[in-house]
Structure 1
Amino acid sequence: MLEKDVQIISVDDHVIEHPNVWQDRLPAKFKEAGPNLVRDAVNGDHWVFEGEKAGNFALNAVAGRAKEDIAMDPRSYDDMRDGCHDIHERIKDMDIEGVHAQLNFPNMPGFAGTTLAMAKDKELGLACVQAYNDWILDEWCAPYPERQIPLMIMPWWDVDLMVKEIHRTADKGAKSFTFVELPHKLGLPSWHTDHWNPMLQASQERDMPISIHFGSGGAPLGVSQEGMSTNFTIGISLFALNSAMATAELLLSPVFHNYPGVKFILSEGGIGWVPYMLERIDYVWDRHRWYNDVNREVKPSSLWKTNMYAPFIYDDAGIFSRHLIGIENIMFESDYPHSDSNWPHTRKMLEESLANVPNDEARLIAEGNARRVYNFPRVS
């Protein structure tokens, strides 16, 4: 069970950037093309980047709404909780739901900073990436260093720039950075090339785990158009597919053999799928390793135990099979303020999930594993 003194850590929450994040930080020459918030009473608030609309809030800011009231809105900052974009109000909302600390993925830039990475003007893109990171470090996390785990975005169109930004932000206290879950789906080199080696080396050197969020590599493969639009329940139900694909790509690649200190965390795919996937990968590896370009000595599932982690929101199947996943490989995610969030009942639901789990295991899942992997020690 979850004891009262456990400080819950969520490794997957989200921030809605306030309207002046970029305008306060970009050089004058980039202010017009950089992210600008347009307040429109008819079409709703929306971001404009390089002259084009760059997404809306939709299901990304619905914390506190009844299930019956969740839809593809809110349309403006006036329609969401202040905790979505104000760090002081966020801390209050965390106290209400019983979450002690959290790691936040971005909104306007995309979960892996994809919108900014796709900038036509790469000098502008880099300035926007750095402005976001400085905002997270200096304004969002700095007032509450015990409550916020700084997550960075990266200029992943240029690996050398990535390495510089990893070191720059690590020097300022960054704990992790986000990246696309399936780079090849975006036309980028896969994990089976040496393209990403400098980034992986920097991640290992600075002990900065790589946090990957579902959807950062596109929709689940083969989902119908309706499944990602008019019947979004299909797409949401299949989040685990991308996590499973990312797991297979990584475990059967050279990544962890070449960089044994690199760690990946797969957010919002749940954990119930993990035992079957590991079993299947091991079976296939054992039978087919002799004629494929894979490491023939190390069982892939052993790399999961040392290098990969997955959080859950509410996953009875995963909790039931937790020993097959690895107690030290499971974390918790709240998903505030997204539509999967159970705010303000987060702690209550986690207590229910872990009711039949031994205290020491529950403590690791809810707090200890996140502190260890993200180098985020307990202070009080």
Structure 2
Amino acid sequence: MPLQDHMQLISVDDHLIEPPSLWTDRLPKKFQEAGPRIVEMDVSENTGDDAMVATLFNAGGATKKRLAEVWTYEGRVYPNIGLNAVAGKPPEEYGMDPTRYDDMLPGCYDVHARVTDMDIDGVQAALCFPTFPRFSGTLFLEGKDPELALLSVRAWNDFHLDEWAAAYPDRFIPMIILPLWDPEAAAQEIHRCAAKGAKAISFPENTVGLGLPSFYTDHWDPVFRAAEETGMPLCMHFGSSGKPPITSPEAPMAVMIALFGTNSMDATADLLFSQVFYKFPELKVALSEGGIGWVPYLLERIDLTWEKHRWYQNVNKEVRPSDLWRKHMYGCFIEDLEGVVRREKVGIDNIMWECDYPHSDSNWPKSRQYVTEVMEDVPDDEVHKMVELNARRVYNFPRSE
């Protein structure tokens, strides 16, 4: 049975490729040279340090071109202008990085073309993560000039809120990134952006891998408090910690891709055994692109651990971890038949759907067809929650009249 006409698909994990002028249009003149900008680079005859750039461009089946467009920031070169932006290409042409904007569908970086591609795909609304700044803005942790880094974070947020999401308010859930090096400044940015209509915050699924304090400290309290006060969930996209699940140096990237859900498992265990949800009882966390099939097993394992070991551990001894999951956490899936089959164990109110345009995991342009197939045996009221209603509730994103 096809999805009912009244059910609108909302993707809680898509990605946008930043247009070349995002920062040059918004940064003060004194930062134009050092701030993020696009330049052309000859990657076919580089030597020394630039040889690594050439290798990146020519690896993984990426299109080989002599002149490539790259991002620079404070003199450093970042070649992945469109990480895995392969929508519309056959799998045998997939690679990690397009080398020029004209290698991608315009919908990757042009909001009007994106809405056209969403219409083709049968997707009503989407939440779009960054690309160049990485999924939660962690690139700006590398900034040498803290003033430029903060202005660069704010520029991305202003672009997203004032230009991208504002162009079609009923089609995009507005998201922001944070100056992660300063929790107080991050809290201020949450409140500034909430006043402009932001609905979601991208945040690393593990801060320790970034050289930052863990969820077990009080370091992040200003951020969690501001998120709670503004009603914005933290969106923890797998891999945002910068710690991919590689098993060995020789393992192909396929191993990392297959295991990426373990990042979300790690975040779940950390959060459920930490004091975060006790200190901030209204905080919400969405595990973006983490899948859901693992949730029943992990919740069972965590509850058993809590039952047997809580008495001598520094964990809460009153509240069952799985109860915290159902109140605070949300699993998000693209293709996860096992998770859909076991949806009651995950929590039907705790599941949201993703498209992942323009990455290789996306089913674009057949997302609605895929969701119809995977939800074939699911009651309509449960389907409606998972593909639309849960997202509207979690992100405070009501239908427009």
Length-normalised TM-score, structure 2: 0.92
Q: RMSD value over aligned CA atoms?
A: 1.2
The equivalent of 1:344 in structure 2 is 365
Q: Which amino acid in the other structure matches residue 357 of structure 2?
A: Y
Counterpart residue number, 1:153: 177
**Residues 181 and 212, structure 1, Cα contact 8 Å, conserved in 2:** yes
Distance 1:222 1:77, change over 3 A: closer
Q: What is aligned with 1:131?
A: 155
Q: Does 1:206 align with 2:230?
A: yes
- Indicate if the aligned counterparts of 2:246 and 2:255 stay in contact, CA closer than 8 A: no
Q: 1:142 aligns with which of 155, 166, 175?
A: 166
Tell whether the 8 Å contact from 2:174 to 2:199 is kept in structure 1 after alignment: yes
Look up the match of 2:283: 262
Aligned match of 1:273: 294
Secondary structure in 2 matching 1:39: strand
Q: In 1, Cα distance between the equivalents of 2:132 and 2:236?
A: 16
Q: How many angstroms does 1:58 deviate by?
A: 5.7
| Whole-angstrom CA distance in 1 between matches of 2:82 and 2:184 | 35
> 1:222: Cα distance to partner?
4.6
Cα distance between partner residues in 2 of 1:317 and 1:220: 23
> d(CA) in 1 for partners of 2:33 and 2:168?
32
State the shift of 1:184 in Å. Answer: 1.3
1:133-160: CA deviations, max 9, x gaps? 0000111011100000011000010011
Distance 2:67 2:249 in 1: 24
Q: Does 1:69 align with 2:70?
A: no
Assess if the C-alpha contact under 8 Å between 1:55 and 1:108 holds in 2: no
| Cα displacement string for residues 5-49 of structure 1 (whole angstroms, at most 9, x for unaligned residues) | 211000000000000000000011111111010123625211011
- Give SS of 1:103's match: strand
2:335 matched residue in structure 1: 314
Q: CA deviation at 1:122?
A: 0.8
Which letter does structure 2 place at the counterpart of 1:358?
P
| Mapped pair 1:56 → 2:57 | no
- CA drift at 1:3: 1.3
What aligned pairs does 1:221-236 form with structure 2 within 5 A after superposition?
Answer: 221-227=245-251, 231-236=252-257
Map 1:100-119 → 2, pairs under 5 A: 100-119=124-143
Q: Which amino acid aligns with 2:5?
A: K
Question: Structure 1 stretches (4+) deviating beyond 6 angstroms?
Answer: none
> Which of 381, 387, 396 is 1:360 aligned to?
381
CA distance in 1, matches of 2:291, 2:81: 23
- Return 5+ residue gaps in structure 2 as ranges: 42-64
State the shift of 1:59 in Å. Answer: 4.7
1:63-102 Cα offsets, whole Å, 9 max, x none, are 1111122123421101100000000000000000000000
The correspondence for 1:121, drawn from 110, 121, 145, is 145
Counterpart in 2 of 1:192? Answer: 216
TM-score (norm 1): 0.97
Question: Residue 27 of structure 1 aligns with which residue?
Answer: 28
Q: For residues 211 and 72 of structure 1, what CA distance do their matches in structure 2 show?
A: 23
Residue identity opposite 1:278 in structure 2: L
Please tell me whether the aligned partners of residues 107 and 114 of structure 2 are also in contact (alpha carbons under 8 angstroms): yes
Distance in 2, Cα, partners of 1:118 & 1:339: 28
- Is the counterpart of residue 18 in structure 1 residue 19 in structure 2? yes
Q: Tell me whether 184-193 or 364-373 shows the greater mean CA deviation.
A: 184-193
1:21 partner amino acid: L
How many angstroms apart in 1 are the aligned matches of 2:194 and 2:83? Answer: 31
Mapped partners of 2:96, 2:182: distance in 1: 34
Paired residues of 1:58 and 1:71 also in contact (CA < 8 A):
no
Report if the CA contact (8 A) 1:219-1:235 is conserved.
Answer: no
CA–CA distance in 1 between the matches of 2:244 and 2:18? 26
Unpaired segments of 5 or more residues in structure 1?
none
CA 1:226–1:53: 2 relative to 1, 3 Å:
farther
Q: Which residue of 2 aligns with 1:164?
A: 188
CA distance in 2: counterparts of 1:71 and 1:92, whole angstroms: 24
Q: How does 1:361-380 map to 2 (within 5 A)?
A: 361-380=382-401
The alpha-carbon distance between structure 1 residues 27 and 58, as it changes in their structure 2 partners (threshold 3 A), is: closer
What is the percentage of aligned positions where both structures have the same residue? 53
Residue pair 2:17, 2:82 contacting (<8 A) in 1 also:
no
Question: How far 1:366 moved relative to its partner?
Answer: 0.2
Quick one: distance in 2 between partners of 1:121 and 1:220? 27
CA distance in 2, matches of 1:226, 1:152: 36
- For residues 79 and 356 of structure 2, what CA distance do their matches in structure 1 show? 19
